[in-house]
Amino acid sequence: MINPCLNNRQGIAFVLVCALLAVGLVGVVSAQNNTVVRAESSISQPHVGDTLTVNVTTSNVQNLYGVDVTLNWNTSVLKVINAKSLLGVESHLEGVLHETASYPIEIFEDNASQELGEYTLVATSAGSAPAFNGNGIIATLTFNVTNTGATGLQVTSDLSDHPATGQNSKFITHTDIADSVNAIPEYPSLIVLTLIMALATVALVVSKKRLSKKQI
């Protein structure tokens, strides 16, 4: 006769094993899907007239072979001064993608338009160049703050992996993360100036009263 308690224990053990396997699989999937492309401003609250840098970065990427990135900004707040892609870690240590002497990075578009408030970069490794893994800066843009106000730094991107022989590249699952900038006046506002003048006036009056008392 089969012991019912033994069957119950075996059933519980089976359920626990399945649960542990499920947790392990979820962990693996999560580890594979935490790749991020992010826009990062050097200053979150710049003054009008300031210069700031925006880096478009990727982190925790595996088997990267091609990038298609677009960054947008509010042209009434920011004016782009310079845009530079950092492609080919052999020449840009903080950058992304690999190249070889025989197979340099192929750049299809690398353009910043102040009129559109848009920067676009489309590029890929080629030939026998290996895939890129890890973290790196895709592009760096320099802006001048021209006016007060808020602007988003919206980034949208596609990342492509290294294709197997005879196969096409596949998109790499990832998350795009935007940043934002809130530009403030170069000088204190009228309210702040008024408050400073009022405090100075009060201090002057108090000082005169003390001086008068001493003279008496």
The model's pLDDT over 129-148, given as tens digits with 9 standing for 90+, comes to: 999 999 999 999 999 999 99
Answer whether residue 79 is part of any domain: yes
Let me know whether 40 and 87 are in one domain: yes
- Is a pLDDT exceeding 70 seen at residue 46? yes
Let me know whether 171 and 81 are in one domain: yes
Let me know whether 27 and 40 are in one domain: no
Q: pTM to 2 decimals?
A: 0.74
The boundaries of the domain holding residue 100 are: 33-190
Answer whether residue 213 is part of any domain: no
- Is a pLDDT exceeding 90 seen at residue 62? yes
Let me know whether 7 and 61 are in one domain: no
pLDDT the model gives residue 14: 43
Beta strands in 42-198 (DSSP E): 51-72, 78-85, 106-113, 118-124, 132-145, 149-161, 175-177, 179-183
Predicted confidence (pLDDT) per residue in 150-165, tens digit: 999 999 999 999 999 8
Let me know whether 12 and 75 are in one domain: no
**Which residue type sits at 51?**
T
